[in-house]
Chains A and B, each alone.
Chain A
Amino acid sequence: MNNKLEQIFSQIPSAEISNKENIYTIYVSKENLRRSAEILRNNDILDFDFLRDIIGMDYTDSFGVTYNLSPSDDLTIIVLLKSTTTDREKPAFDTVIDLWESAPFYEREVHDFFGIRFLGNEDMRRIFLRQDWRGYPLRKDYDNSPIINPVPKDNENLDDMENLPVLDLEDLGKPKKSVFDKDEYVVNFGPQHPATHGVLHLRISLDGETVKKVDPNFGYIHRGIEKMCEAYTYPQILHLADRLDYLSGSINRHAVCMAVEKGLELEVPQRAQYVRTIIDELTRIASHLLGWGAMALDMGAITAFVYGMRDREKIMDIFEQTCGGRLMANYAVIGGLMADIHPEFQKKVKEFIPYMRKMLKEHHILFTGNPIARGRMDGVGYLSREQAISIGATGPVGRSSGWSCDLRKHAPYAAYDKVNFTELLRTDGMTFDRYHIRLDEIEESLKIIEQLIDNIPEGDYCAKTKAVIKLPEGDYIQRVENARGDFSVYINSRGDKFPYRVKFRSPSMVLVNVLKHITPGTKISDLIMLGGSLDYVIPCIDR
């Protein structure tokens, strides 16, 4: 443990600290939790200003929360701040929403799944499930009988569309409070809307054309993936990971594979590492192309969208040939790859690289240099570096605000430590930067692929694994850089063939939080464009 961390940790009262490969686990009592969080957040030595995630836990005899923290300057360090409460009737912890701007959504999520209340956070509405849902599904004693929560068979009134949301503050002894004023002009954007990139529901309050307030409402594609994982074996879980952020499915699957491999201490063949890296980068290019096109579409340029889709099709063809799937490649498995690469894989990829370079130039001519596009993007949607870190906006959005957060550099995995590439950073944090950085990252990804494609080592493509995979007891964390940022897998195992708890950190969810912060004061058209510039994927948020 280095000196700085020792100094900080020594300030935390009565903490149990353990360390494993730069992951520091700190146990504190429920009373000391808030104090410990404040120490980690507000100290002069190393500021833990990036709250990656809040993970709720049900230990059957008690409830727990885990705060996954990192300092923004040194992403190699992970601190898991843990605490438990034995109160199963009304579990509660102190809130941290004033310390990290990413906390409100995470606390709502923990409350939704475990019924843990965060004292001081007024907004404890359900975030994924229906407001009238009975029970907390991720509790181990949850009763999933359809009698308690019947499946509606008739058409229902659209309660969440017609009525304004209300905060229930009865637990705190206060009257109910509406999120919007009674005479505000509130418009429902979504869940069925051409420009929300999925089933996201935004309630926006308007003053003429100007947006005053945004209230996101998730859960229209909530499939309970984390709950499903608890009943699935590890090889089965991989297929669910693909279906989170479907545009970077291969990368997410890679993350789950690595987390399990870490637990098994499995040596993955070099051939598999190289191919996984190439597939990841191809996925990233495909995702960025779609993100670019979708943003252009949101601004009304349909042709740009079609061009983006056309180029993405080339990658989909490569995937189809080698992996069998197109959108869901299903390629990585625990220990390596599902199958060896197709004999024409290298040839096809090498043809694709110069084609993509040529098309990138065309995209810049068509859209980047367009005066209307520049006029729309300039001077709108400023996200400062501090805010990006506090909200936890990783990936291209964080990097366009000047936060160096590329996990391929900070925590290299697979073959990323064997290639040369630059982490692109922009400093302005404007819409145009978020737009431009995606096109630039395509070029960087092409460079990575170029370095790897000719040097794929010979050998096995998959290590031998046991028929039944059981992870030893413990916490396993794996972070990867997917097309939208920091995608983390947290697996808590009790030595069984099923995980005890799985948590996926969604980079998209924080991006909606960014939208909530940067849109007030802009126009409706800007709201749509900013949504496009953040490029969130809804199934990843809803899980």
Chain B
Amino acid sequence: MFHFEVVTKWIDTFLMSNLPEWLALTIEFVLIGILILSAYAVLALILILAERKICAYFQCRLGPNRVGAWGVLQPIADMFKILLKEIITLNRADNRLFRLASFLVIIASLLTFGALPFDKGLHAIDFNVGVFYLLAVSALGVVGIVLAGWASNSKYTMIGAMRSGAQLISYELSCALSLMTIVMLSGTMQLSQIVEQQANMWFIFKGGIPAFIAFVIYLIAGHAETNRGPFDLPEAESELTAGYHTEYSGITFGFFYLAEYLNMFIIAAIATTMFLGAWQPLHIPGLDGFNMVMDYIPPVLWFFAKTFFCVFIALWVRWSFPRLRIDQLLRLEWKILMPIALANIVLMALWILVF
């Protein structure tokens, strides 16, 4: 197996041996920052194209097919369009908060993105409370959304923001509880160790029934956290025109747009990390020949394949279902998902005891 660790370790030792420590560290920080930002942007472009193509095929259409072969350059054209658009300042809005909101949303999304274990050694932030960090940072985005709704000084955005506040805070619970189920199984909150433990078998198999239940709950709750259909109430197009980001234009809107797509990726990536073994290849104990073959596929590819599988499920759901109503949305969380998630924790404890 080829790990990126080789490359990153080599750069690290090369810099450390030739430069003073503070300078080496600064250069490394800057490098990582640039890498993460560019990966973030490139992934967003890929995701936008993927969504447009996949949803087109769901709807018996062709999707973008004019800019470049199969429309591959379409998102880049869209990006330039959005960069060149005027940023409209509102007359009666609180402009400082208005601007701040879009940055808050994208910062929260970027911070979460940095903690994803793409490969061994390709993992920027690895705390010993990694899961905790993920949950805390991803919940920051809601501040930006509520602020956007409030600062726009419009009735539509206000309704969108209130919906968003209620929805994100509620679904955060199920998300956290289902991740806790896995933390119980692994006994650690450090992401790198969680991934290490899945080397012989992914947690979704190792944890049996409770892990599977947790996986499904996480997918639903995580999907709701990304504000995408059927949980797209905060920006319900047919009801609130565009919800909390109605008044944004140009790149300030682009930030919301980007964050939405990347959040979808992040939720899928966390599901991959916690349940599907992150970059670990599919191993079945006892089948050594099979495991050998699987090891030839690079780990980064494994990570992205699994993540895009989860993204595909999210897209499939989004383009098939109508939207929920706000009371149904909250009932689903507080009366169905959360009790199941709580019971699931007990089940997991029993599972660990028995097996």
A302 and B322 alpha carbons, distance in the complex (Å): 8
Q: Which chain A residue lies CB-closest to B238?
A: A195
Among A187, A306, A366, A525, contact of B156 (Cβ-Cβ < 8 Å) = A187
List chain A residues, Cβ under 8 A from B60.
306-307, 310
B319 cross-chain contacts in A, Cβ below 8 A: 302-303
B123 near A: Cβ within 8 Å? no
Q: Which of A265-283 contact B (CB under 8 A)?
A: none
**CB–CB A370/B321 < 8 A:** yes
Q: Is the CB of B238 within 8 A of A297?
A: yes
Chain A residues with CB under 8 A of B127: none
Instruction: Determine which of A194, A366, A525 lies in contact with B326 in the assembled complex, contact meaning CB atoms within 8 Å.
Output: A525
Give per-residue flags for A184-196: 1 if the beta carbon is below 8 A from chain B beta carbons, else 0.
Answer: 0101000001110
The answer to whether A303 touches B320 (Cβ under 8 A) is: yes
Q: Of B36-44, B93-101, B229-237, B306-314, which binds chain A? A: B229-237
Cβ-defined contact, B155 with A526, below 8 A: no
> A300 to B325, Cβ gap below 8 A?
no
* Complex interface: chain B residues within 8 A of A447 (CB): none
User: Shortest Cβ distance from B220 into chain A, in angstroms?
Assistant: 12
Chain A residues closer than 8 Å to B325, beta-carbon distance:
375-376, 523, 525-526
- Encode B52-75 as 1/0 by CB contact (under 8 A) with A: 000100111100000000000000
Complex CA gap A193/B246 in Å reads 12
> Is the contact region of chain A dominated by helix, strand, or loop, or is it mixed?
helix
Query: Which of B230, B327, B328 lies in contact with A300, CB distance below 8 A?
Result: B230
Bound: A375/B323 CA distance, A: 10
- For B239, the chain A residues whose CB sits under 8 A away are 195, 524-525, 528
Q: Are the C-beta atoms of B321 and A194 separated by less than 8 Å?
A: no
Please name all residues of chain A whose beta carbon is closer than 8 Å to the beta carbon of B320 when the two chains form the complex: 301, 303, 366, 370
For residue A109, which residues in chain B have a CB less than 8 angstroms away from its CB? Answer: none
Instruction: Please tell me if B137 contacts chain A, counting CB pairs below 8 Å.
Output: no
Indicate whether A148 reaches chain B with its CB closer than 8 angstroms.
no
Residue A298 is within 8 A (CB to CB) of chain B in the complex: yes
What string of 1s and 0s marks CB contacts (under 8 Å) between A499-532 and chain B?
A: 0000000000000000000000001111010000
Asked if residues A193 and B241 are in contact (CB atoms below 8 Å), the reply is yes
A536 shortest CB reach to chain B, Å: 15
The answer to whether B159 touches A524, judged by C-beta atoms less than 8 angstroms apart, is: yes
A298:B230 contact, CB within 8 angstroms: no
Residue A372 interfacial (CB < 8 Å): yes
Please tell me if the beta carbons of A300 and B238 are within 8 angstroms of each other in the complex: yes
- Residue of chain A at shortest CB distance from B230: A372
B79 interface hit (Cβ, 8 Å): no
Query: Is A373 on the interface with B (CB-CB < 8 A)?
Result: yes
Report the Cα distance A507→B291, complex, angstroms: 69
Complex interface: chain A residues within 8 A of B240 (CB): 524
A300 touching B229, Cβ below 8 Å = yes
Min CB gap B157→A, angstroms: 11
Contact A528 B326 (CB under 8 A): no
Where the two chains meet, the residues of B that have a C-beta atom closer than 8 Å to any C-beta of A are 55, 58-61, 155-156, 159, 163, 229-230, 232-233, 236-241, 319-328
9 A-B pairs with least C-beta separation: A300-B323, A195-B238, A299-B322, A301-B322, A306-B59, A525-B325, A300-B322, A187-B155, A298-B238
Q: Which residues of A contact B (CB under 8 A)?
A: 185, 187, 193-195, 206, 209, 296-304, 306-307, 310, 366-367, 370, 372-373, 375-376, 523-526, 528
Complex A-B: 12 CB contacts under 8 Å: A194-B241, A209-B327, A299-B238, A300-B237, A300-B322, A301-B322, A302-B59, A306-B59, A307-B60, A372-B328, A376-B323, A525-B325
If A185-B155, A306-B60 are given as contacts, then 8 extra A-B residue pairs at C-beta distance below 8 Å, sorted by A number, are A209-B326, A297-B238, A302-B319, A303-B58, A303-B320, A370-B320, A372-B328, A375-B325
